[in-house]
Structure 1
Amino acid sequence: MKLLDRERFADALGEKEITLSEVFALLSENRLLIVLTTAAMLFLGITYAFFGTPLYKADVMIQVDSDPGSDTLNDKLGDLASLFQSKASTDAEIELIRSRMVVEETVRSLHLDVNATPHRFPLIGALIARQAPAGSPASPFLGMSSFAWGGEALGVTQFDVPAALYDQRFKLMVGADQAFELSDADGHTVLRGRVGIAEQGVTRFGPVQLRVDHMVARAGTSFNLARASTQLTTADLQTALDISEKAKQSGIVAVSLEGGDAARIAATVNRVASIYVQRNVDRKSAQAQQMLQFLADQLPQLRADLDEAEAKYNAFRAQNGTVDLEAEGKLLLQSIVDSKTKLVELQQQRSALAQRYTAEHPSVQAIDAQIGELQEQQRSFNEKVAALPSTQQQALRLMRDVRVDTDLYTKLLDSTQQLRVLKAGQLGNVHTVDYAEVAEKPVKPKKTLVIALSGLIGVLLGCAIAFVRSTLNRGLETPSEIEGAVGVPVYAIVSRSARQRTLHQSARGGGSELNVLAAAQPDDVAVEGIRSLRTALQFGLLNLHNNIVMLTGPRPDVGKSFLSVNLAAVLSAGGKRVLLVDSDMRRGDVHRYFSLPSKPGLSDVIGGVEPSSAVHYQVLPNLDVLMSGSVASSPAEMLMSESFGKLLAQFSKQYDVVIVDSPPVLAVTDPVLIGKHAGLTLLVVRHGRHSAAELQESVRQLSNGGHTVDGVLLNDVPQRASAYGAFSEYGAEKSA
């Protein structure tokens, strides 16, 4: 029998598209989960914001002069200074700042590979310590003097341990009169010492050396001391340094570092800047010294060449007297001297460049081109000299050698003096514009942002969990899914009711009031769904062999008793004389809806008690109720008895409709025994709680008892503003 139009529900619920209203409904169903998740994330966020270690930021600003020629002294020296100066690249300088040469020296000079932290009380110790002023140890909190409560300081300038003990925690216990004791992780004393004195101890891995130059702490306070690998500490610092150019091609480089110790990170970036600037100066000075050494090596040879040239010229004059050159010869001599001097200078410059660059370098190739041109000039000049008389040729060559060697020697001496001045005044092409100061306020965590983000993450996480859980745990939800799984029509759809939840809690509390939704809240959306079932039953019962309707479910907690009670209530309100029978003689709870005792009841009537003394008459107009009765030791045997069949037959004659609330079919065999007496069997399922296999097994077990499931009641459907949700609310408004 088909009491409802299946196509109507298939059209309304068969489609799988999720609408925005369904999304909001799903979120509303899981609002408690979302609230709890948000509260948990807010708690974590607030805890981190107020109890997390604050991070400070320190930064320095360095200017990189990309045009060394702008320096006044370098302008005076001209080409000579340019031999060992090159245009600085900001990107290259950034890599030099981050280089191991600079960073490792910083680590070693500041002893950053040594980590000394006061031993604080868990959780709140660090928070309390941050409130204490620096430089003086705070008084113990609640008398717990073994912990450090703020103001402590420990300056370690040497802590050498075997490599096997890197990152292993040592304990330094402060004693009286600036004394201390160092023990290893096992509690064994390694050494004892005093501030300002280098001490040495022994471990099973080798010797340990420790020097403490500064200690501010109460006697009895301890510090956790650990030595890290210098190489790894250097690598970590290289990664932690944030180095960037402030603006493109500005030549201004910012070096910043974040950390929990404001003074330590400020000292670190300042030391990085100082070492980098000094290394830049040292590099420039080394280049100047290299050129000075080259010139110093050339001077003796040039002096010897000059002396030899003068000696030859003087000998020629002594033999031939003074030779007067004609005007053309004098002009040729001057040209030869200038060209030769320039050629020798270029050859010297090339020798200097060859110590720094390969022959393919553009600077070297440019000088080679100039040298080639001057050598070609020299060949041209030599051809002109060959055309002169022999005596003039010889005189011109000797005079040329003297003048060239004199010019070269004089210029070389002058260059040497200039380089000495340049080296002495060399400041490099970088300098620090701003040094870091100890930060007063942390940059992280940003409390407002952290709390806001944690709340947002909590909401999103709660929503995500709700969607994932809905997807993973999704049971059958729509009539089309249920009908496709078991081949049984859906008779009614009953919406979820917030009012019923209140009534259910009241019933569980054992109150004396009536807890029937159809009577207490007749305009509720769930009641409207039950009214649609009543309408169908009024026509459908005409074709049944009796008027007994059994409601069962696959398992407990599907709302079977709720539907039985309220179906009986709406039928009786429509003028039908109805008897409601609670046949669950194990865990029946129909009596709670009416705040009546559970016995005497069905089990007692089957055992011989008169029905008239067990039935509760007129609990609602036209509605009588027979409770489950005393707890039976063998309910199945009682349901198989002839007395039970006769009892139902008697009730069927006395009432227009008999509704039997039976136990779950997958839990016990009772529904199979009751079902053979029923004219109509309805299977109650809960929205999204059952798999297809579970419903199929329920139908199979009832079928094995010789009768079929006539219809399904879909219960506890969320009130979503689509399809059936809209229908139910429309009906509720109308009834109201």
Structure 2
Amino acid sequence: MKDIQVKPSQTYSDTTGDDEIRLFEILGVLRESRGLIAAATACTFLIGSLYAFLATPTYRADALIQVDDDSGTGSLNDKLGDLAALFQNKASTDAEIELMRSRAVIGDAVARLHLDIDAKPRYAPLVGKPFVRFLAGDGLTGAPPGLGGYAWGGERIAVSKFDVPARWHGKPFTLIAGDAGRYELQSADGATILRGTAGQPASARTGNDSVELTVTSLRARPGTRFDVTRLSTQRTIADLQQGLKIAEKTKQSGIVGMTLDGADAESITQTVNTIATLYVQRNVDRKSAQAQQMLAFLGDQLPQLRADLDQAEARYNEFRAQHGAVDLEEQSKLLLQTVVENKTKIIELQQQRVDLVQRYTALHPSVTAVDARIAELRRQSDTYERQIGELPSVQQDAVRLLRDVRVSNDLYTSLLNSTQQLRVLRAGQLGNVRTVDYAVVPEKAVAPKKALTLALSLVLGLLAGCGLALGRRMLSRGLETPAEVEAAIDLPVYALISHSDRQASLDASRERDPAKPRVLASASPNDIAIEGLRSLRTALQFGVLRKRNKIVMFTGARPGIGKSFISVNFASVLAAGGERVLLLDADMRRGDLQGVLGLARASGLAELIGGASLQSVIRRGVLPGLDVITGGGTPDLPSELLLSGRFEQLFEELRTLYDFVIIDSPPVLAVTDAGLIGRHADATLLVVRHGCHTAAELGQTMRQLTSAGVSVDGALLTDTPSRGMSYGAFSQYGSPKS
């Protein structure tokens, strides 16, 4: 409409900001992309299902160890008293945990179980392990034809020794089973290294290097292959230390849990139990070694103490021979007893200090405490010596000599008793740790958790699908609001045409019934999309009343934007209002209005321009009040036909026959036809699909139409989400109640 001054019949604005995707718009995007979301969910769920049921299960073996504060000898310690306390080094639970995962303990377990040797059957890729896990029986399973080199269930191998040069650590070798336990070991390049028999050591030399292999047991069909790898011992120990989880169950409870995860339930159980056994045994051995060390120390001291006792007794006997029996006063007797006790304590503490210094440094709190006690006793001893000096001369000598005898005798007797007690302590030594629960072979895998995996895969699939849908929209986001379209073309948007699920259903029915019309205005006249076309009709009728605009062309930038949908249904809406309407399919290249209307292909616009009569190509009464001229055949040069005088005369004839002529033109950016057709139209409306166009694309479309002499009067925004724009919230208004 060259001079239409009518305002847009519907005006919409985004009250939350042009760049903000509102919740309803997001829901609209997700609804449009439900196929993509369903596909992403299905793919993710399928992957999760394959992982849940085909992934190698992980098992967990666990053991409980109790760490006591005392040495564990019970009442025996009560009887031995301070002597047993020498060996009760109250180590913290944290320290014991570090001992459990120490290289000494883990290394012994690796050596005992040969964990640095990896020997396992070779399974067929992808299907081998699942087949063995789900279908194989207890015995040897026969191999499918051509796959005899793989394991199919029941194969077993145990290797107790595999020594290779360090540079070959971590490199797999192939062991091929033969008859009667025989086997052949090959390198990665297929070269034979050695041949041997299960149960017997085998060795070979390769250049300057030697290879030694002992296969303890072998159970397999002849030709079955095994992968045998010598791992680095240090790396194996480090990996086991990292994989072994040790922690106190409850703070300060002394109950320590030890767990290990792995694919081989029997192997991890054996490993955990071996580590627990070795740790407990090392604890007992350490306690026994301490007792043995003290016994050796006492054994060195006893001869000297015996000699000191003999010398003291000899001096005292000599004194008595010279002076006879000396009758000590009561005060002197008490002083003598005190001096003896003091001297004995000093000597015992000195011996205890020697033992402590061997285990700790001189600055250790236990050593400094003993030093302080010895200093205190020595100060007391000096006091007693001064008191002895105040006695008569003969009594002084008698007290000193008798003191030496008693001190030497008490020390010798005490150490002799201690030696016997230590022997008992060593024989009954149990250590301060014990295994409460040994690991048992787990029956249920801890991973993968099938139900959780399936649930997570479903949720992740939905999230991934939604993310893909929104990401695709953001990456290819075109103009979506009337304001954006108006800013791009500097023309008003006359109507919003909402997305129609009903039209999608009609389009889907084409394969089942090609002859069935797919006109939404006839099938569902109350659809929200048709309401948008009625608002457009109102705007155009106001213009027609003043300007007599009869020929309206709908065009667009590209195919697939709803241009034909608008043309057919708008013509139907006009016809339903009592107007005489002709629908013209001006796309002689790919036009398909006859398919939309359920018509058979016949003569049309191409034949009409070529010389056929107008009456022969008009298909009357296709819908009430609606006649149609289809595109007809496909000419070689459609643009040349559109330039002919016959095409211009056609519109003059149509003006006299119809109230409205609705033209469905080809896309502007694809061909030049729209510019040639638009010259004869009274009004040209640009069809813009929601989210499909950029401002640059619409700008180029407008420039091409303008350069062809076509004046565009406005635009329509089609396929808008039913809840994506303001009017969409009322999409059910006026629809029949269910």
TM-score strictly above 0.5: yes
Q: Check the 8 A contact 2:12/2:725 in 1, yes or no.
A: no
Q: Does 1:626 align with 2:629?
A: yes
The one of 424, 427, 434 equivalent to 1:424 is 427
- Residues 376-418 of structure 1: CA distance to partner in whole angstroms, max 9, x if unpaired? 1011111111112222222222221121111111111111221
Q: How does 1:559-574 map to 2 (within 5 A)?
A: 559-574=562-577
Q: Check the 8 A contact 2:72/2:430 in 1, yes or no.
A: no
CA distance in 2, matches of 1:557, 1:711: 19
CA distance in 2, matches of 1:310, 1:253: 56
How far residue 17 of structure 1 moved from its aligned partner, in angstroms, is 5.5
Q: SS of 2:184's equivalent?
A: strand
Q: Check the 8 A contact 2:14/2:481 in 1, yes or no.
A: no
Q: Does 1:316 align with 2:319?
A: yes
Please name the residue that 1:484 is paired with. 487
Q: For residue 400 of structure 1, what is the amino acid of its counterpart?
A: R
Q: Identify the structure with bigger relative contact order (alpha carbons < 8 Å, sequence gap 6+).
A: 2
Q: Does 1:151 align with 2:154?
A: yes
The one of 278, 292, 300 equivalent to 1:289 is 292
Please name the residue that 1:184 is paired with. 187
Q: Does 1:170 align with 2:173?
A: yes
CA distance in 2, matches of 1:180, 1:173: 6
Q: Check the 8 A contact 1:180/1:194 in 2, yes or no.
A: yes
Q: Check the 8 A contact 1:332/1:381 in 2, yes or no.
A: yes
Q: Does 1:116 align with 2:119?
A: yes
The one of 228, 237, 240 equivalent to 2:231 is 228
| Percentage identity across paired residues of the two chains | 55
Please name the residue that 2:534 is paired with. 531
Q: Does 1:208 align with 2:194?
A: no
Q: For residue 447 of structure 2, what is the amino acid of its counterpart?
A: K
Q: Check the 8 A contact 1:14/1:479 in 2, yes or no.
A: no
How far residue 567 of structure 1 moved from its aligned partner, in angstroms, is 0.8
Query: Which has the larger displacement, 224-233 or 173-182?
Result: 224-233
Please name the residue that 2:142 is paired with. 139
Please name the residue that 2:400 is paired with. 397
Distance verdict in 2 for CA 1:66–1:301, change over 3 Å: same
Q: How does 1:510-589 map to 2 (within 5 A)?
A: 511-544=514-547, 546-589=549-592
Q: Does 1:435 align with 2:438?
A: yes
Please name the residue that 1:198 is paired with. 201
Please name the residue that 1:241 is paired with. 244
Q: Check the 8 A contact 1:160/1:208 in 2, yes or no.
A: yes
Distance verdict in 2 for CA 1:116–1:367, change over 3 Å: same
CA distance in 1, matches of 2:103, 2:134: 37
Q: For residue 677 of structure 2, what is the amino acid of its counterpart?
A: I
Q: Check the 8 A contact 1:245/1:254 in 2, yes or no.
A: yes
Q: Does 1:91 align with 2:94?
A: yes
Please name the residue that 1:600 is paired with. 603
Please name the residue that 1:73 is paired with. 76
The one of 646, 658, 662 equivalent to 1:643 is 646
Distance verdict in 2 for CA 1:154–1:731, change over 3 Å: same
How far residue 640 of structure 1 moved from its aligned partner, in angstroms, is 2.8
Distance verdict in 2 for CA 1:205–1:510, change over 3 Å: farther
Query: Which has the larger displacement, 197-206 or 89-98?
Result: 197-206
Distance verdict in 2 for CA 1:446–1:723, change over 3 Å: same
CA distance in 1, matches of 2:14, 2:480: 14
How far residue 201 of structure 1 moved from its aligned partner, in angstroms, is 2.8
The one of 301, 305, 318 equivalent to 1:302 is 305
Query: Which has the larger displacement, 162-171 or 505-514?
Result: 505-514
How far residue 550 of structure 1 moved from its aligned partner, in angstroms, is 1.2
Query: How well do the aligned residues superpose, as a CA RMSD in angstroms?
Result: 2.4
Please name the residue that 2:275 is paired with. 272
- Residues 201-244 of structure 1: CA distance to partner in whole angstroms, max 9, x if unpaired? 34478322110111122222221222221111111111211222
- Residues 448-491 of structure 1: CA distance to partner in whole angstroms, max 9, x if unpaired? 23222222222222222223223332221111221222222111
TM-score normalised by structure 1 residue count? 0.94
The one of 53, 59, 66 equivalent to 1:50 is 53
How far residue 682 of structure 1 moved from its aligned partner, in angstroms, is 0.8
Q: Check the 8 A contact 1:4/1:490 in 2, yes or no.
A: no
Please name the residue that 1:414 is paired with. 417
How far residue 297 of structure 1 moved from its aligned partner, in angstroms, is 2.7
- Residues 278-315 of structure 1: CA distance to partner in whole angstroms, max 9, x if unpaired? 11111111221222222223223323322332233233
Q: SS of 2:733's equivalent?
A: helix
Q: Check the 8 A contact 1:13/1:479 in 2, yes or no.
A: no
How far residue 87 of structure 1 moved from its aligned partner, in angstroms, is 1.4
CA distance in 1, matches of 2:161, 2:656: 103
Please name the residue that 1:724 is paired with. 727
TM-score normalised by structure 2 residue count? 0.94
- Residues 651-700 of structure 1: CA distance to partner in whole angstroms, max 9, x if unpaired? 22322111111111111222222222222111111111111221122122
- Residues 472-517 of structure 1: CA distance to partner in whole angstroms, max 9, x if unpaired? 3222111122122222211111111222223334446772222222
CA distance in 2, matches of 1:463, 1:596: 40
Structure 1: gaps (5+ residues): none
Please name the residue that 2:688 is paired with. 685
CA distance in 1, matches of 2:265, 2:146: 29
Query: Which has the larger displacement, 410-419 or 296-305?
Result: 296-305
Query: Which has the larger displacement, 644-653 or 281-290?
Result: 644-653
Query: Which has the larger displacement, 334-343 or 483-492?
Result: 483-492
Q: SS of 1:218's equivalent?
A: coil
Q: For residue 429 of structure 1, what is the amino acid of its counterpart?
A: N
CA distance in 1, matches of 2:633, 2:208: 80
Please name the residue that 1:656 is paired with. 659
The one of 448, 463, 468 equivalent to 1:465 is 468
- Residues 105-127 of structure 1: CA distance to partner in whole angstroms, max 9, x if unpaired? 11111111222221223333323
CA distance in 1, matches of 2:574, 2:137: 82
Distance verdict in 2 for CA 1:304–1:506, change over 3 Å: same
Q: Check the 8 A contact 1:552/1:665 in 2, yes or no.
A: yes
Query: Which has the larger displacement, 511-520 or 405-414?
Result: 511-520
How many residues align? The count is 735
Query: Which has the larger displacement, 682-691 or 8-17?
Result: 8-17
Please name the residue that 1:329 is paired with. 332
Q: SS of 1:549's equivalent?
A: strand
Q: Check the 8 A contact 2:9/2:538 in 1, yes or no.
A: no
Q: SS of 1:61's equivalent?
A: strand
- Residues 144-201 of structure 1: CA distance to partner in whole angstroms, max 9, x if unpaired? 5433221221011011222222222221111111101111111111111001111113
CA distance in 1, matches of 2:722, 2:692: 16
How far residue 266 of structure 1 moved from its aligned partner, in angstroms, is 0.9
Please name the residue that 1:62 is paired with. 65
How far residue 131 of structure 1 moved from its aligned partner, in angstroms, is 4.9
How far residue 564 of structure 1 moved from its aligned partner, in angstroms, is 0.7
Query: Which has the larger displacement, 377-386 or 300-309?
Result: 300-309
